[in-house]
Structure 1
Amino acid sequence: MRELIQGAYDLHVHTAPDVLPRRLDDFEMAQRVMDSGMAGFAMKSHYFCTGERAAMTRKLYPACDAVGTITLNGSVGGINPAAVEMAARAGTKLVWFPTSDSAHEQNLTLGEDWNPDKKLPYWAQVVLQMREEGIDNPVIRVVGEDGRLTEATHQVLEVIARHQMILATSHLSHEETFALVRAAKEHRVEHIIITHVDFPTTFYTVEEQVELLRCGAYMEHCFVTYNSGKVDFEVVLEQIRAIGASHIILSTDLGQKTGIYPDEGLEQFVTSLYDRGISEGDIKKMTCHNQRILLGKA
Structure 2
Amino acid sequence: MNAVPKPVPAPIGRDRDATIDQLVKGAIDLHCHSGPSVMARYLDHIEAMKEASEAGLRALLLKDHYYSATPVTALLNKHFSELGVLMLSGVPLNNAVGGLNVHAVEHGIKLGARLVWMPTFSSKNHIDHHKADAHFTDKFPQTKRKMIEPEPLTVLDAQGRLKPEVKDILDLIAEADVVLSGGHLHISEMWPLFDEARARGVKRILVNHPTYVVDATLDDMRELARQGVYMEHSMCMWVPGSKFKFYDPEFLQQVIDAGTVDLTILGSDLGQVGNPRIVDGFRSVIGTCLDLGHSEEDIRKMTSTNAATLMGLED
TM-score of the aligned structures, taking structure 1 as reference length:
0.92
Alignment of 1:149-298 (within 5 A): 149-199=162-212, 201-227=213-239, 228-298=244-314
Number of residue pairs matched?
A: 289
Against the structure 1 CA distance between its residues 238 and 117, is the aligned structure 2 distance closer, same or farther, given a 3 Å change threshold? closer
Aligned to 1:134: none
Against the structure 1 CA distance between its residues 118 and 57, is the aligned structure 2 distance closer, same or farther, given a 3 Å change threshold? closer
Against the structure 1 CA distance between its residues 7 and 116, is the aligned structure 2 distance closer, same or farther, given a 3 Å change threshold? closer
Against the structure 1 CA distance between its residues 269 and 114, is the aligned structure 2 distance closer, same or farther, given a 3 Å change threshold? closer
| Residue identity (%) | 29
Kept in 2: contact 1:15–1:25 (CA 8 A)? yes
Q: Which amino acid aligns with 1:50?
A: A
Q: Which amino acid aligns with 1:81?
A: V
Which secondary structure state, in structure 1, belongs to the residue aligned with residue 192 of structure 2? helix
Kept in 2: contact 1:157–1:189 (CA 8 A)? yes
Pairing 1:130–2:142 present: no
Structure 2: gaps (5+ residues)? 1-19
Aligned counterparts of 1:142 and 1:284: Cα–Cα separation in 2 = 34
Q: Which of these residues, 108, 113, 128, is aligned with residue 129 of structure 2?
A: 108
Pairing 1:67–2:88 present: yes
Against the structure 1 CA distance between its residues 230 and 117, is the aligned structure 2 distance closer, same or farther, given a 3 Å change threshold? closer
Aligned counterparts of 2:43 and 2:143: Cα–Cα separation in 1 = 21
Deviations 1:92-136 (A, max 9, x none): 1111111111101101112xx44389646344786x6414xxxxx
Kept in 2: contact 1:198–1:231 (CA 8 A)? no
TM-score of the aligned structures, taking structure 2 as reference length:
0.87
Q: Quote the offset at 1:171 in angstroms.
A: 0.8
Aligned counterparts of 1:222 and 1:259: Cα–Cα separation in 2 = 13
Q: Quote the offset at 1:198 in angstroms.
A: 2.4
Aligned to 1:89: 110
Against the structure 1 CA distance between its residues 206 and 115, is the aligned structure 2 distance closer, same or farther, given a 3 Å change threshold? closer
Deviations 1:51-105 (A, max 9, x none): 1011111112221100011110000011111100100000011111111111011
Against the structure 1 CA distance between its residues 242 and 116, is the aligned structure 2 distance closer, same or farther, given a 3 Å change threshold? closer
Kept in 2: contact 1:182–1:215 (CA 8 A)? no
Aligned counterparts of 2:261 and 2:134: Cα–Cα separation in 1 = 38
Q: Which amino acid aligns with 1:115?
A: A
Q: Which amino acid aligns with 1:96?
A: W
Against the structure 1 CA distance between its residues 287 and 15, is the aligned structure 2 distance closer, same or farther, given a 3 Å change threshold? same
Q: Quote the offset at 1:196 in angstroms.
A: 0.7
Aligned counterparts of 1:284 and 1:122: Cα–Cα separation in 2 = 29
Q: Which amino acid aligns with 1:58?
A: N
Against the structure 1 CA distance between its residues 117 and 259, is the aligned structure 2 distance closer, same or farther, given a 3 Å change threshold? closer
Q: Quote the offset at 1:271 in angstroms.
A: 1.3
Which secondary structure state, in structure 2, belongs to the residue aligned with residue 34 of structure 1? helix
Against the structure 1 CA distance between its residues 152 and 238, is the aligned structure 2 distance closer, same or farther, given a 3 Å change threshold? same
Q: Which amino acid aligns with 2:214?
A: T
Deviations 1:176-215 (A, max 9, x none): 111111111111111111111222x223222211222233
Aligned to 1:45: 64
Q: Quote the offset at 1:254 in angstroms.
A: 0.3
Aligned to 1:27: 46
Deviations 1:129-182 (A, max 9, x none): 414xxxxx4110001101111011111111111111111112101211111111
Aligned counterparts of 1:93 and 1:114: Cα–Cα separation in 2 = 33
Against the structure 1 CA distance between its residues 37 and 116, is the aligned structure 2 distance closer, same or farther, given a 3 Å change threshold? closer
Aligned counterparts of 2:177 and 2:246: Cα–Cα separation in 1 = 33
Aligned to 2:7: none
